[in-house]
Amino acid sequence: MTEPTPSTGAPGQHGPGGSGDIHRESEVERLHRLESSSGSDRRRGDTRRHTDAATVAGLDIPTRPDPAAPRTSVAQSGVTGRPTSSGPSRATRKPRRDWGTKSLGLVGLLGFLVIWEVLPRTGIVNPTFLPPASEAIADLFRNVGLTAFWQAVGDTMWQWLLGMLIACIAATVLGFLIGSSTFLRRFTNSTIEFMRPVPSVALIPLAVLLFGVEIESALLLIVYASFWQVLIQVLYGVADVDNVAMNTARSYGLGPLARLRYVIFPTALPYLMTGVRLASAVALILAITAQLIIGNPGLGAEIAKAQSGGSYVAMYALILATGLLGVIINLVMRMIERKVLSWHSSVRTEVAK
């Protein structure tokens, strides 16, 4: 048998586990140095690991996190693998504007104005009945400084706003009520399909007989036309609720009102906002129509007066004003829709593009 060779090292190294303790302390110091240096790497977005997992596993430190684990979880990194706002580095969203589409829209508008300008100038169309676009635009700018013009705009917008509020509230309440009941859906389906295609203009004689030339006659047309836009969308939204989500809500003991708030309403809200946006345009059309035919005060009545008085330039200027009013209403409604539905995937995808 061979005798063990005596060690010539220091006395402190001959104890039980002495060399292991020194090795472990040196590894701990090295890991601390690496940890302090990794702070600057983290600020630079460096996600590489310089520590071997096997080395750390050999350390008898239960509270030591696994250095081989990624700095950000899958939830923090997202689908793309890049850190998002919940990770170490915040991702900045840079909105991209589709300038190509906007330019095409502007070119189309300019092309329409050019054609409108050329037709009367060349004599293709009688300039008495279709004045050049430049004259109508100039008269529109002159109307901006007139009090009567803004009074007509205010009357039109007041009728539009009242009609929209009545139609949206009534259609939303009835839509959720009917959509939540299978019996009510079947019971009212034929009635809705029969009354929805009836044009609102056909109700003008009834409105005049009931209310004369008062504002109520215009509201009857506006509410009737806008009501169906919102009601149909709400019915579609309620019908789109996931049955699994409803059953889960019932199993957790949620009552009818709680299910309406937490399950049905979030699903139907995008449909509701679409209906409101469509109804806003329809309400403006019916407001102008009621003013043109019935004679309610507003831009429509001013257009009728200009036409009957032979002031065709002023008539076309007021028509342009109604068009601009419709564009402004549509932009405002789209902005409200994006704000309300900022959590929805369709709006988030649209913003990310």
Report DSSP letters for 149-217, one per residue: HHHHHHHHHHHHHHHHHHHHHHHHHHHHHHHT-HHHHHHHHHHHHHHTTS-GGGGHHHHHHHHTTSHHH
For the chain, what are the domain ranges?
Answer: 147-352
Mean pLDDT to the nearest integer, 219-245: 93
Alpha-carbon gap, residue 74 to 81, rounded angstroms: 7
Confidence of residue 58 (pLDDT cuts 50, 70, 90): very low
Average pLDDT of the residues in 202-215: 91
Using CA atoms, how far apart are residues 330 and 337, in angstroms rounded to an integer? 10
Looking at residues 124-140, what average pLDDT do you find? Answer: 91
Residue type, 231: L
**Residue of 118, 148, 159 lying closest to 306 (CA atoms):** 148
**pTM for this predicted structure:** 0.68
Tell me the fold of 147-352.
Answer: MetI-like fold (1.10.3720)
Tell me what pLDDT residue 109 has.
85
Is the pLDDT at 88 greater than 70, yes or no?
A: no
pLDDT at 61: 41
pLDDT of residue 18: 52
Q: Name the token pair of 142.
A: 């002159």
